[in-house]
Amino acid sequence: MKNLFAAETAQARTALREARCPRGWCVVSSAHMNRTALDNIRIVLVGTLYGGNVGSVCRAMANCGIRRLRLVAPDPDITWEFARTMAVHATDILDARETFATLREAVSDCVAVAGTSRRGGLFRRRFLDAREAAPELVAIAQTGPVAIVFGREDKGLLNEELLLCTHVLRLPAAPEYPSYNLAQSTVLLCHELFRAAAGPVRNKELEASPPATMDLRERTLDKLRDHLLNVGFMSESDAPRMMEGFNRILARGAVTEADMKLVMGALAQTRWALEHRQ
């Protein structure tokens, strides 16, 4: 009788739990969440125009356990009080925001940068579906900071800003109306990252050298660009297209500090040899 009572009680508790938390709407236990990865995600908003969007982004971040917000050259006339209103209980994220003058500065400490865009073009050919890319980004975020970059409400990210990205993400939408607004895009992408962090996350193979930051990558690419121009490998007009190709190469796999320092050393020695040859 006692065992029967216990079984019936367990069934009743299960039924009550399912009634309170139907399938698809359950809160994920923190015990199953990859906190390290989520803590290493940085949401970066470039040239944001409206305080309401900033506040809505903060709320979406809080829903998904992401806490680090960075703003790049936001509109100086943003209404921050409205941002606080839209943030609701996520004003701590808003208050802790970091502001930068350029995207390059904002992502300098990151080991990967995922930009978002819906438009095609020369610099937008490496599109990844956001859901498919999320597990990879979460895995990378176990090794260091990862930036998820959203562009301006009216014109998105510029080509030169996409050149800073190791990944370019697209959110699927109906072809008749493919453009999400900034707050919607952030909700959808943060949720994909949250889902990925709640599931099995494949560990990135640890290298002897730590991952290269974007600052080190960009300094290496700057030196490579100067060198290739100097030796006549490319012209100024060809440089954006050629450097986008080198960006794609670097985005295909893990790049370490040692890798970048090796390239920089080779470029420096080659330049010295060219300048001093008889």
The fold of 214-276 is Helicase, Ruva Protein; domain 3 (1.10.8)
Q: What pLDDT shows up at residue 21?
A: 42
Q: What pLDDT shows up at residue 74?
A: 97
Q: What pLDDT shows up at residue 23?
A: 40
What residues in the chain have per-residue pLDDT under 50?
A: 1-31
Q: What pLDDT shows up at residue 33?
A: 64
The string of pLDDT tens digits covering residues 136-192 is: 999 999 999 999 999 999 999 998 898 888 889 999 899 898 889 999 999 999 999
Q: What pLDDT shows up at residue 204?
A: 56
| pTM of the shown model | 0.77
Could you please report the per-residue DSSP string of 145-162?
-EEEEE-BTTTB--HHHH
Length of the chain as a residue count: 278
Sheet holding 68-72, edge to edge: 98-100, 68-72, 41-46, 146-150, 112-116, 167-170, 127-129
Q: What pLDDT shows up at residue 11?
A: 47
Looking at 1.20.58.110, 3.40.1280.10, 3.20.20.30, 3.30.300.30, the CATH number of the domain 33-198 comes to 3.40.1280.10
Q: What pLDDT shows up at residue 117?
A: 87
Q: Where in the chain is the domain with CATH 3.40.1280.10?
A: 33-198
Q: What pLDDT shows up at residue 208?
A: 72
Which residues make Cβ contacts (< 8 Å) with residue 85, sequence separation at least 6? 52, 55
Q: Where in the chain is the domain with CATH 1.10.8?
A: 214-276
Q: What pLDDT shows up at residue 17?
A: 43
